[in-house]
Amino acid sequence: MKVVIIEYNAGNIQSVQYALQRIGVNAILSNDHATIKSADKVIFPGVGEASSAMRSLQQNNLHLLIPTLQQPLLGICVGMQLLCSFSEENNTDCLGVFNLTVKKFNTQSNLKVPQVGWNSIYNLSSPLMHQVPENSYCYFVHSYYVPQNNFAIATTNYVEPYASAIHHNNFYGVQFHAEKSAAVGEQILKNFMAL
């Protein structure tokens, strides 16, 4: 099986590679369109800020390629947010795979923003969450979130309930860092490989 991690300037690429190696998957890093198109599975990682991440994708026309991919694709953290149509982070137009707006956590709440650390996921559905127990803990680092919506396959509470994982056709996204979420994250990555 050929697994490609999209290489661009906003990827938490090494930790994703190590997590995949732990489950026996050697992934290729690439920003080459033909290589990405020929993959069986594509991972779209992301760390950092939405507008600079989008600019980095645009440098290699990856913003045109990603929405056209036909194989299973998993967006992680900012990678999930970029699959939406718009982010309030620097008013950024994103890839539009999901017709959703990424919002900033209300900083008037008594909770710290960004959310950093372990939090639970519940209301799990989709094969991506196979054998993941309800209320499992995953590792989060983010100030922006995707509100509850019809694509949600996991929910998390922080400031308010929000979609911590989404799915539409061959596109999947997780707000948490699956690659840093211990056994639960490993199970989710295994499930993605089995799709």
How far is C-alpha 47 from the chain's CA centre?
A: 10
Residue 84 falls in the annotated catalytic set: no
Residue 179 falls in the annotated catalytic set: yes
Reference 129, options 146, 149, 153; nearest CA is 153
Written as one letter, the residue type at 115 is Q
Q: Is 53 left (phi over 0), alpha (psi -120 to 50) or beta?
A: alpha
- Residue 175 CA to residue 162 CA, distance in Å, equals 10
Residue 147: is the preceding peptide bond cis (ω within 30°)? no
Reference 45, options 23, 84, 22, 17; nearest CA is 17
| Active-site residue identified among 7, 77, 142, 167 | 77
| Active-site residue identified among 63, 142, 167, 177 | 177
> Residue with structure tokens 């979420």?
181
Angle among Cα 87, 154, 125 to the nearest 5 degrees reads 130
Catalytic residues: 77, 177, 179
